[in-house]
Structure 1
């Protein structure tokens, strides 16, 4: 095993969720990479909205979590590698798909990290959601001149707004928060609509599109009503892309509408780590090309000891909030 510097400590700090809305910071043994693995000394980890369901303490959730568990948007510097690691070296700065990144260190397989270019030094890089945005965009098949509605302008929706505008799409952004609509306008959205009255929204989009509705509609909220609305906004033979995280309960769909309009339905969630890695590489290329700029979207930063505040803010989404990061000195 190669080390960046002699290890001065055999322990690390890690967050452990002990119950609904409760956590503690523990000092735990520093993990050692096995064959094909590496260890990342983390600089930070993005806080994902998918954490909110386990944070709320559903019946199926088991507490306490593993140290660092739930964190999966980490980035940092490799400080140790195991045997048979061929393409990543100690000292490389990487984005990682490790699953215990609410901690100062995390392990990952070599094929679950992406080396970051030198011009990104000093910048946060939560690779998993950035790669997710690029994969959703790719499966949406946006081309210049299309009308694209994006339902939900959080971090993911804001990234997709940038990507769709850069591709020449005419974006209609929908959000319940005026702040998010202002953000979408700054990102190039042609129209913004407050998510309030279902039928008034439909009538407004109908007028904006001269009765045709939208070529592409990306649902990025993860709730029943926005999913229903997204289908109503999709034109005949249009494409409805489900990007929201629908894991808090079952959903119903209006199959009569979907069937009559002949909609193409894309569930844009991926589970293959190789596809996530490809998306992260695409995100790096998009940032370098100027098609994507996530830096203004990292609105709040917290130390590990305040992970509970970061999760609560991600849940409550106060004015001015887009994305929380846990960062380490």
Structure 2
């Protein structure tokens, strides 16, 4: 295979990648390894999780083709560009794919996901930047290197580190809620994100009720100390009120994308309670009782994507997690090679009772 080199490393000229070619059309192909410029690094991917937002883009055609998706990623620096400071070839890292400018109106208001720079993806395997983690190598652009590249200690696995970005998104939502120890929180949905939300809520000292259709998922949740499962096939509003002296939960977190469940969540909280939408990432209409917001003083709120303000806290939490009872690799149910990426995406798109976080590992 022909190789190209920069001043610090030699890397292949081509690589394998799962390329999005159109709606529901992903193909494993050979493409060029992306070239890096000044201030940038090239990362060889070890692990990349499949996120629900990746699936939404693949299935709805919301983004132009071709692209390489995947953003929950960790790997090893294979090359560094001129002027890069603090990182070297061989460093184990994870990369955020969004980092805000830090100066605009939205950054000053700490609404980082609305910053125009944040909306620009800063990692790519080639083509239009889209994360690129479903490939052997990614190019990490300069503003991400400066503020969104995190070193992984030798004793921490790439799999654990790949959870830093999704943990940040969940931590952000929990942080916004400012939970109290006497709060009761209902988390609707116990996929990997639902369990992450519930586990982080549990760490605040709040009482956490978890709702899901599948006992297999409650079994995984129990590994994180979540021991108050509700059967989603039953009346979870009634069950929540039974658990709260008839009042309803202080907070309901909606971790599945179903607009009909917004009303369920609103019904399950007490007067003055809050509903946090976490998975409602597609536009549509969702009727709910406006009098519940006005007269019952219930609050409907949302949280989207990660926050640069909590990066250090989240990195510490995840990287210290395995030795402090927060081993997120327990959420991984399936590991696929890059050659089997299409099968991985298919399973993630049609989750089964025993499927949780699905990861792609090019080295398999």
Contact 1:131-1:278 at 8 Å conserved across structures? no
Aligned to 2:332: 298
Equivalences for 1:1-329 in 2 at 5 Å? 5-7=9-11, 9-58=12-61, 60-62=62-64, 64-66=65-67, 69-97=68-96, 98=123, 99-108=131-140, 109-110=144-145, 111-121=147-157, 123-126=159-162, 127-197=164-234, 200-247=235-282, 249-270=284-305, 274-275=308-309, 277-278=311-312, 280-284=314-318, 287=321, 290=324, 292-329=326-363
TM-score between the two structures when normalised by the length of structure 1: 0.88
Q: Give the Å deviation of 1:124.
A: 4.2
Give ranges in structure 2 of 5+ residues lacking alignment.
97-122, 124-130
Distance 1:249 1:113 in 2: 35
Q: Cα offset for 1:55?
A: 2.3
Q: Name the TM-score, length of structure 2 as normaliser.
A: 0.80
Gaps of 5+ in 1: none
**Which moves more between the two structures, 293-302 or 187-196?**
187-196
SS of the residue corresponding to residue 15 of structure 1 reads: strand
Of the structure 1 ranges 274-283 and 40-49, higher mean CA displacement relative to structure 2 is found in 274-283
In 2, Cα distance between the equivalents of 1:166 and 1:276? Answer: 16
Give me the whole-angstrom Cα distance separating, in 2, the residues matched to 1:50 and 1:77: 24
Q: Residue 291 of structure 1: CA displacement? A: 5.3
Shift of residue 4, structure 1, vs aligned partner: 5.4
Q: Name the CA distance, whole Å, in 1 between partners of 2:78 and 2:207.
A: 45
SS at match of 1:45: strand
C-alpha change, 1:57 and 1:147, in structure 2 (3 Å) is closer
When residues 79 and 100 of structure 1 are mapped into structure 2, their CA distance, relative to the original with a 3 A threshold, is: same
Partners of 1:286 and 1:212 in 2: how far apart? 37
Secondary structure at the aligned position of 2:10 is classed as coil
Distance 1:81 1:50, change over 3 A: same
RMSD: 2.4
Contact 2:211–2:236 under 8 Å retained in 1: no
Q: 1:270/1:278 Cα in 2 relative to 1: closer, same or farther (>3 Å)?
A: farther
> Shift of residue 237 of structure 1?
1.9
Distance 1:101 1:82 in 2: 20
Q: Distance in 2 between matches of 1:128 and 1:178?
A: 27
- Alignment CA distance shift 1:317-1:153 (3 Å): same
